[in-house]
């Protein structure tokens, strides 16, 4: 009795494992989604020509239409069921895109999955594209096109020496040379302007 039960379960196991290995589920045939449309493998969708690779900029689960990657994400390859988040130093303001965009000069983005880059505040700057941190403090210099409103349309910003009548850059932000002052406003240099102005970031990370 014990012997025959063991034999039966061994045979059943052999049939089960043979079935799993030998018969992969066909794609686009048989199984349908909730709207009655054929399902496809992950990374594909059911189109006019049957199961088709998901286009760039989209994610496909195998059921239903391709889903556009949202702003702050992208997909650079066909046939995928996910979107990449933008990495620090890059952004993507639109949906359905095939790449991320490096932050322009004068801007930076410390976080992933973002739709804009921050503008460097007055007296600070970033002279390189695609950066995650703002560069050193330059007292006596100002950044044009300051953008604390996180406007993704604004492109890069540059650093300029404050005019002779208002030679000090302050701790507060302001647009263009209006960020400069006739009186020192508490700007604390981290490097000399010569050091920082060559585009080398000091050993410092953005926090907050």
Ligand X SMILES: *[C@@H]1O[C@H](CO)[C@@H](O)[C@H](O)[C@H]1NC(C)=O
| 198 contributes a contact to ligand X by CB under 6 A | yes
Q: How many residues interact with ligand X (rule CB under 6 A)?
A: 12
Closest to 146 measured CA to CA, from 164, 170, 125:
125
Please report where in the chains the tokens 């988040």 appear, as a residue.
85
Q: Pick between residue 38 and residue 76 the one whose CB is nearest to ligand X.
A: 76
Asked if 100 contacts 111 with a C-beta cutoff of 8 angstroms, the reply is no
In the complex, minimum distance from the CB of residue 174 to ligand X, in angstroms, rounded to a whole number: 19
Distances (CA, A) of 2 to 9, 16, 175: 11, 22, 87
| 159 contributes a contact to ligand X by CB under 6 A | yes
CA distance 157 to 177: 13
List, in order, residues 6 or more apart from 52 with CB less than 8 Å away: 40, 44, 45, 46
Q: Pick between residue 37 and residue 56 the one whose CB is nearest to ligand X.
A: 56
Q: Pick between residue 57 and residue 174 the one whose CB is nearest to ligand X.
A: 57
Q: Which of residues 60-99 bind ligand X (CB under 6 A)?
A: 76-77, 84, 98
CA distance 189 to 202: 11
| 129 contributes a contact to ligand X by CB under 6 A | no
| 148 contributes a contact to ligand X by CB under 6 A | no
Q: Pick between residue 155 and residue 200 the one whose CB is nearest to ligand X.
A: 200
In the complex, minimum distance from the CB of residue 204 to ligand X, in angstroms, rounded to a whole number: 13
Distances (CA, A) of 36 to 7, 26, 32, 158: 43, 16, 5, 57
In the complex, minimum distance from the CB of residue 138 to ligand X, in angstroms, rounded to a whole number: 8
Q: DSSP code of 68?
A: E
**Options 4-12, 25-33, 62-70, 194-202: segment touching ligand X (CB under 6 A):** 194-202
Q: Please identify which residue in 17, 148, 150, 200 interacts with ligand X, judged by CB under 6 A.
A: 200
Q: DSSP code of 177?
A: G
**Options 44-52, 110-118, 164-172, 190-198: segment touching ligand X (CB under 6 A):** 190-198
Residues that bind ligand X in the complex, under the rule CB under 6 A: 56, 76-77, 84, 98, 127, 159, 195, 197-200
């Amino acid at each position: 009795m014990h012997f025959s039960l063991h034999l039966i379960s061994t045979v059943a196991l052999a049939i089960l494992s043979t079935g799993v290995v030998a018969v992969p589920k066909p794609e686009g045939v048989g199984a349908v989604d909730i709207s009655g449309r054929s399902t496809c493998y992950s990374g594909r969708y059911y189109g006019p020509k049957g199961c088709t690779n998901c286009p760039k900029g989209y994610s496909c689960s195998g059921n239903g239409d391709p889903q556009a990657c949202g702003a702050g994400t992208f997909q650079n390859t066909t046939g995928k069921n996910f979107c990449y988040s933008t990495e620090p130093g890059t952004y993507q303001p639109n949906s359905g895109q095939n790449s991320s965009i490096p932050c322009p000069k004068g801007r930076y983005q410390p976080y992933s999955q973002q739709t804009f880059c921050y503008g460097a505040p007055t007296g600070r700057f970033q002279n390189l594209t695609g950066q995650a941190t703002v560069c050193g403090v330059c007292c006596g210099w100002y950044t044009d096109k300051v953008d604390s409103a996180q406007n993704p349309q604004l492109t890069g910003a540059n650093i300029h020496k404050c005019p002779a009548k208002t030679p000090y850059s302050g701790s507060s932000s302001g647009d263009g040379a209006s960020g400069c002052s006739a009186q020192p406003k508490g700007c604390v240099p981290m490097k000399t302007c010569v050091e920082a102005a060559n585009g080398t970031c000091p050993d410092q990370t953005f926090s907050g």
